[in-house]
Amino acid sequence: MTPLRVIFLIILVGTTLEVLTERTREQFRLTRWRRTLQDHVVIVGYGTKGRSAARTLLGHGVPPERIVVVDPDPKVVEGATEEGYVAVAGDATRSDVLWRAEAQRARQIVVAAQRDDTAVLVTLTARQVNPGAHIVASVREEENAPLVRQSGADSVITSSGAAGRLLGQSVLSPSVGRVMDDPITYGSGLDLIERPVDPSEAGLAPREVRDLVVSVMRDARLLDHDDPEANPLRATDRLITICRASDGPAAARLG
């Protein structure tokens, strides 16, 4: 065997061992991650909507290790990994892909697919994998929202309808349009958040709370701020409030 061939074999063996070692490390990391992960958020689809959802969660104090991204594009998955998330490449309409993302132990699942028909299938699969998760799905067309709800979504956001209403309101009253846009633009101005009742607020009327209370969540029922049943506030209530963006994140953390 010539010296050149020996050198080539040494390089080949060294490269192979390096790849195997890296794969072993990655497998160990994923195994440890899967063993400890629960009550996390799975975001299906990491386009504009999925990224915005992830940024909002981060801004409200959810650590990146509790956010799992699922996307069919390996390059998108690689980018999500570089941003600090655990990411899984695959078609989320397949239950085995959601199982790899530990969706069966997730607390929330966000369906941010690019197509409405995909959103329906992903929602249906996610509900089968995790009957108890809170599923929020986005659709482009309002006519598809009922189908997504029937597939198992707890909440459905219609992107085109919401954008259209905001556009119309901005035409009729630019000032109102800016005010409406403010709470849905995270990180500046005002934020719309859900938070628990502070011990000092129990027994008060919603209008006496330091933040502007929009609604009160009590025993899985959503009460308007002026509903007589919402007065007085109970320690177990949760409040939907409008507050300054700088005050919101600590109060609206997941779980």
CA distance 224 to 144: 28
Q: What is the pLDDT of residue 220?
A: 81
Q: What is the pLDDT of residue 131?
A: 95
Q: What is the pLDDT of residue 71?
A: 96
- CA 49, 51, 57, 62: dihedral to nearest 10 degrees? 150
The conformation of residue 198, written as its DSSP 8-state character, comes to P
The conformation of residue 46, written as its DSSP 8-state character, comes to -
CA distance 208 to 231: 10
62 in the Ramachandran plot: left (φ > 0), alpha (ψ -120 to 50) or beta? Answer: beta
- Structural domains in the chain, sorted by start: 37-163 (3.40.50.720), 187-251 (3.30.70.1450)
Give the number of residues written for the chain: 255
Q: What is the pLDDT of residue 252?
A: 47
Q: What is the pLDDT of residue 253?
A: 45
Instruction: Pick the closest to residue 238 from 110, 221, 62, 190 (CA basis).
Output: 221
Tell me whether residue 40 is exposed, middle or buried, using C-beta atoms within 10 angstroms of its C-beta: 0 to 12, 13 to 18, 19 or more. Answer: buried
Question: Given CA atoms 198, 229, 184, 69 in this order, what sign does their dihedral have?
Answer: positive
Q: What is the pLDDT of residue 9?
A: 62
Q: What is the pLDDT of residue 10?
A: 65
CA distances (Å), origin 33, targets 23, 47, 68, 75, 196: 15, 24, 11, 22, 30
Cβ atoms of 70 and 43 within 8 Å: the answer is yes
Q: Kindly give the confidence (pLDDT) of every residue in the chain, 255 residues in length, as a single tens digit, with 9 standing for 90 and above.
A: 566 665 656 666 666 656 555 455 545 455 555 666 778 999 999 998 899 899 888 887 889 889 999 999 999 999 998 898 989 999 999 999 999 999 999 999 999 999 999 999 999 999 999 999 999 999 988 899 999 999 999 989 887 666 666 667 666 677 766 666 666 665 556 777 788 999 999 999 999 988 889 899 998 888 998 899 999 999 999 998 887 765 554 444 444
Q: What is the pLDDT of residue 136?
A: 93
187 in the Ramachandran plot: left (φ > 0), alpha (ψ -120 to 50) or beta? Answer: left
